[in-house]
Chain A
């Protein structure tokens, strides 16, 4: 139990920090998290298609208007749909996407621990 507790705390701290890190991201970082809608599996940042080039200008523009990173994402989500975001939003559609791997991890751990207690 102690092990799991420590583990959960560590994960919490790390995720918390991943969120905090968001404030200083540049336009490049934002473009990396967006899908280039007309390309085959490339981000807006990596692509040189016209769509990507114009979207980069839009991002630059929005930053100058003083929009935060989250606001830009939700603006683009409104315009192009969730398909454009590489970082899937946590909502009822994606509960399983985010939680199932963690659940599998916990079940796996439980199975291993059970092996030991069962023996004794």
Chain B
């Protein structure tokens, strides 16, 4: 029943697009004010998509296995929470979620944009409708979440156990809020070009959307990363895996756009650049969806290997890109006023430098991600592009980037002198001495690491000082930049100080490492609703006499029948102790991996700080900087 309602709601929703477009086009010429009917229809469409989405949730909650999506991704013994999150833990449901957010955002847009010109609002709605219709057709034609199975199976196939996790349950919705937020930026940029509304007012108005998308995208990536850290069992948080990169690319584009909009908001320059970025951000979000959904990349995110779906998204994506290029060429006038004059040493230049480096990082990630795909198609050579590639191309460029980031915010608009030269020099010297002292303790490449850590410390000190000098002026930017310096420092230290032991142990055995011993005391068994757990008890003795007890788990899930290993992590302010235990076939021993990961929690905290900084600026309407 719920499936039926959901299915019909989708068709009604698509049908409403016809009305919305009809009334919008009519309203373009007629009156001075926006036709109320358009808003009602948009809301009704949103309502139908919500109904459809709830229809799917209810099917999942009731374990209605006559629905193919539920059958493929759920099971009666699954806890309620994961039944619900299973709704978007699959291809069909996640697309329905996309559509839900698309219609939600355009409704919010119509309410929030009442101060903007009428035709600009209508054009934004029209462009958004093109995307919405595309997704409706995609859902209904190639990936309907409401297909029937006859006869109704008694039991479902279950959800992949590694997806049964709280962080991962909310990761897709948050990430999608960011992705789909960029669709509004895209539509509104096109509309602004068509109606010649690219102005400071437009920048001020769209900045809210840029910020919101950026905050959600950052949080979404953070959640995915935290999940990878404790669930995948290797103790890392970022692997430069194509699916991770795919979410990072729109992030770079959004971050660039955010800084670019700050200039545009102040003076009408860089308009063409802002338009290109707005289009690029959404194109990257869409191509991310394409790459992940088409099955070209192999990973946990690939729910289906259906070429028809991939082809559809690809054609849709190209249509949108051609449309935007067309509008950009024929409607956008790139002419800027005389006031675009500014000098070498100014805030404008520092933002340009930010944009420059961001684009470089984006191009590294983009090329690293898609190059192997093209190479394989053209020459049949399979190559891998992994962490060493990104480290080599990104790390050297990070150094000038961090230094520019430390100096930039202290500059004035238009023209500036080096203020605070004295402090900056002192900070640079202190940073260098501090880094050299720390790095010398370790058997690693001295020069590279010292320079890297120095530049990170330099940013750290200069942003810390700004808290005192500027106080509440620029607070949001200051917090975000401070968070970024903290992030880079934590990542560097996490890399440098990490310590790891991998060994095979039987119950009762002890492993002696340089600074600690691991004692495998015993194992326990526990039965849960949808899995059996084997829990190891490990006692770790350190040289200074302290000890830790860690209990990594092996979980044997009933449906689908998969063994997963759950890490046990002891977190405190300075280090994480991370242990996993793995089953080795036909052996008495277990494979044990024990890692000491310093400053792990600071990586999460600093990303939260960055998003907090961004959110502050969202609430503070007053112009900053």
Alpha-carbon distance A42/B384, docked complex (angstroms): 11
- CB-defined interface of B450-474 with A at 8 Å, one 1/0 digit per residue? 0100000000000000000000000
Chain A positions within 8 Å of B236 at CB level: 46
B447:A13 contact, CB within 8 angstroms = yes
Type the 1/0 row for B381-410, where 1 means its CB is closer than 8 Å to any CB of A: 111111111001101110110000000000
Asked if A48 and B591 make an inter-chain contact with CB atoms under 8 angstroms apart, the answer reads yes
The verdict on B305 contacting chain A, using a C-beta distance below 8 Å, is: no
Contact of B443 among A18, A24, A108 (CB under 8 A): A24
Chain B contacts for A63, CB-based, 8 A: none
Closest to B300 in A: A40
How far, in Å, is A23 (CB) from chain B's closest CB? 10
**A21 to B379 CA separation, bound complex (whole angstroms):** 33
A87 on the B face (CB < 8 A) = yes
Chain B 10-25 against A: per-residue CB contact (8 Å), 1 yes, 0 no?
Answer: 0000000000000000
Closest residue on chain B to residue A89 by CB atoms:
B383
Report the minimum CB–CB distance from B523 to chain A (whole Å).
Answer: 17
* A91–chain B nearest beta-carbon distance, Å: 10
Residues in B neighbouring A7, C-beta threshold 8 A: 400
Q: Among B139-147, B219-227, B259-267, B355-363, which stretch is in contact with chain A?
A: B355-363
The bracket for how many chain A residues form the interface is 35 or more
Instruction: Decide: A41 and B239 in contact? CB cutoff 8 A.
Output: yes
- Check B582–A33 contact: CB distance below 8 A: no
Per-position 1/0 for A3-17, Cβ under 8 A of B: 000010011011101
Asked if B605 is at the interface (CB within 8 A of a chain A CB), the reply is no
A51 at the interface (CB under 8 A from B): no
Is A104 at the interface (CB under 8 A from chain B)?
yes
Does the CB pair A87–B447 fall under 8 Å?
no
Expressed in whole angstroms, the minimum distance between the Cβ of A119 and any Cβ of chain B is 6
B524 to chain A, nearest CB (A): 21
Which listed residue, B298, B393, B400, B445, touches A21 by the CB 8 Å rule? B445
The answer to whether A96 touches B371 (Cβ under 8 A) is: yes
User: Shortest Cβ distance from A118 into chain B, in angstroms?
Assistant: 11
Q: How far is the CA of A13 from the CA of B451 in the complex (A)?
A: 11
A86 touches B388 (CB 8 A): yes
A10-B396, A48-B582, A86-B388 as given contacts; A17 in contact with B447, CB under 8 Å: yes
28 contacts between A and B (CB under 8 A): A13-B447, A17-B448, A28-B502, A35-B384, A41-B241, A41-B243, A42-B232, A42-B234, A43-B386, A43-B387, A48-B233, A48-B582, A82-B383, A84-B384, A85-B383, A86-B384, A86-B385, A93-B375, A96-B371, A100-B363, A100-B367, A101-B364, A101-B367, A102-B393, A104-B363, A105-B360, A112-B349, A116-B344
**Min C-beta distance of B161 to chain A, whole Å:** 15
A residues in contact with B382, CB < 8 Å? 81-83
Verify if A58 is at the interface (C-beta below 8 Å from B): no
CA distance A47 to B233 in the complex (A): 9
Q: In the complex, are the beta carbons of A119 and B384 less than 8 A apart?
A: no
* Of B234, B235, B363, B451, the contact of A14 (CB 8 Å cutoff): B451
List the B side residues contacting A115 at CB < 8 Å.
352
Hey, which bits of chain B sit against chain A, CB under 8 A? 232-236, 239, 241-243, 298-300, 341, 344, 349, 352-353, 356, 359-360, 363-364, 367-368, 371, 375, 379, 381-389, 392-393, 395-397, 399-400, 443-445, 447-448, 451, 500, 502, 565, 582, 584-585, 591, 593
The answer to whether A87 and B363 have CB atoms under 8 Å apart is: no
Other-chain contact of A97, B300, B368, B443, B582 (Cβ < 8 Å): B368
Q: Measured between alpha carbons, how far is A108 from B358 in the docked complex, in Å?
A: 11
Nearest B residue to A49 via CB reads B582
A32 at the interface (CB under 8 A from B): yes
Pair B500/A93 contact, Cβ less than 8 Å:
no
Minimum-distance CB pairs A-B, first 8: A86-B386, A46-B234, A87-B388, A21-B445, A83-B382, A41-B241, A48-B582, A105-B360
Q: Taking the nearest CB of chain A, how far is it from the CB of B595, in angstroms? A: 11
Please name all residues of chain B whose beta carbon is closer than 8 Å to the beta carbon of A28 when the two chains form the complex: 500, 502
Q: Which of B235, B349, B364, B387 contacts A86 (CB 8 A)?
A: B387
Instruction: For the complex, give the distance between the alpha carbons of A47 and B392 in Å.
Output: 23
Which residues of A in the span 70-120 have a Cβ within 8 Å of any Cβ on B?
81-89, 93-94, 96-98, 100-102, 104-105, 108-109, 112, 115-116, 119
Residue of A nearest to B371 (CB): A97
Closest-by-CB residue of A relative to B391 is: A18
Assess whether A1 is interfacial by the CB under 8 Å rule. Answer: no
**Distance of A87 Cα from B591 Cα, bound (Å):** 27
CA of A42 to CA of B353 in the docked complex: distance in angstroms? 35
| Cα A119 to Cα B269 with chains together (Å) | 14
- Set of chain A residues within 8 Å of B582, measured between Cβ atoms: 48
Residue of B nearest to A116 (CB): B344
B399 / chain A contacts, CB cutoff of 8 Å: 10
What's the least CB distance linking B545 to chain A, in Å? 28
A35 to B451, alpha carbons, bound, how many Å?
A: 30
Are B385 and A101 in touch, CB under 8 angstroms?
A: no
Give Cα A82 to B363, complex, Å.
23
Min CB distance, A93 to chain B, in Å? 6
CA distance A81 to B375 in the complex (A): 14
Known: A14-B451, A18-B445. 17 other contacts (CB 8 A): A17-B448, A20-B445, A33-B388, A43-B239, A45-B234, A46-B232, A46-B235, A48-B591, A50-B585, A84-B384, A86-B385, A86-B387, A87-B392, A88-B383, A89-B383, A93-B375, A101-B360
Would you call B387 and A32 a contact (CB within 8 A)? yes
CB proximity of A76 to chain B, nearest CB, Å: 12
Inside 8 A of A40's CB, which chain B residues have their CB? 298-300
Query: In the complex, what's the smallest C-beta–C-beta distance from A98 to chain B, in angstroms?
Result: 8
Contacts of B445 in A (CB 8 A): 17-18, 20-21
A116 to B415, CA, bound (A): 13
Residues of A near B298 (CB, < 8 A) are 40-41
Which of chain B's residues has its CB closest to A48's CB?
A: B582
In whole Å, how far is A114's beta carbon from the nearest beta carbon of chain B? 12
